[in-house]
Amino acid sequence: MEILTKYFTDFTEKQINQFAALKDLYAEWNQKINVISRKDLDNFYEHHVLHSLSIATQFNFPDSYDIMDLGTGGGFPGIPLAIFFPKVRFHLADSINKKLKVVEAVTAAIDLKNVTVQHTRAEDIHNKKFDVVVSRAVAPLKDLWYWSKPLLKKKPVDQPKKITGLICLKGGDLNNEIAESGCRPRIWEIEKIFEEEFFKKKYILQVSSP
């Protein structure tokens, strides 16, 4: 928990309690359903929660925004972001139902009201539109953008600075992946945001809505 308050100093008491409860909840569920590796569980707040919250250091999502976490797995980055932005609506989707059971149990346990869950593949969602799609290391950028585009609301012509599009967490050498995607994402180096060794060669990418 200390690593969160090292970088974020304005959490409410409820947010602190919600973040503090996460590790034990995931440790308990991990014994039933393997959603986090043992190594990552030992570094839970750094590898999962803080990594997810790197998005919150660069984007201040307005209240009432609708955000999809595409391929959320065990709930990252969606759950930490939903705690951080309690007035933003988060829709967490994944094709593996047993992982979503963990997401549902965790959100219920910490009284996280702004999260909905859907067992589906991105290409099967036809009746919802979102301001932003977030994702963490689920697939190559080319695929993420292909899946995300039909889910995104069009960017308002009169609001050129509105936060829109795909925001994803990536790692490693991204040159080929970006070239193959045909996108021109904005890129932030997370190691310039958080000093821990884990964040070297990890990035936030944003592809804006057309």
- The b/e string for 31-60 (b: 16+ C-beta within 10 A; e otherwise) is eeeebbeeeeeeebbbbbbbbbbbbbeebe
Domains along the chain?
2-118+125-207 (3.40.50.150)
The partner residues of 91 in beta bridges, in order of sequence, read 68, 116
Q: Is 122 annotated as a binding residue?
A: yes
Q: Is 76 annotated as a binding residue?
A: yes
| Amino acid in the structure at residue 193 | I
Q: What is residue 76's predicted lDDT score, i.e. its pLDDT?
A: 97
What is the per-residue pLDDT across 60-107, written as a single tens digit (0 to 9) for each?
Answer: 999 989 999 999 999 999 999 999 999 999 999 999 899 999 999 999
Q: Is 136 annotated as a binding residue?
A: yes
What is the per-residue pLDDT across 167-202, written as a single tens digit (0 to 9) for each?
Answer: 999 999 999 999 999 999 999 999 999 999 999 999
Residue with tokens 């590790």: 23
Closest by Cα among 113, 123, 29, 127 to 71: 123
Instruction: List CB contacts of 44: < 8 A, sequence separation 6 or more.
Output: 22, 23, 26, 27, 36
Q: Is 123 annotated as a binding residue?
A: yes
Q: Is 75 annotated as a binding residue?
A: no
The partner residues of 67 in beta bridges, in order of sequence, read 90, 132
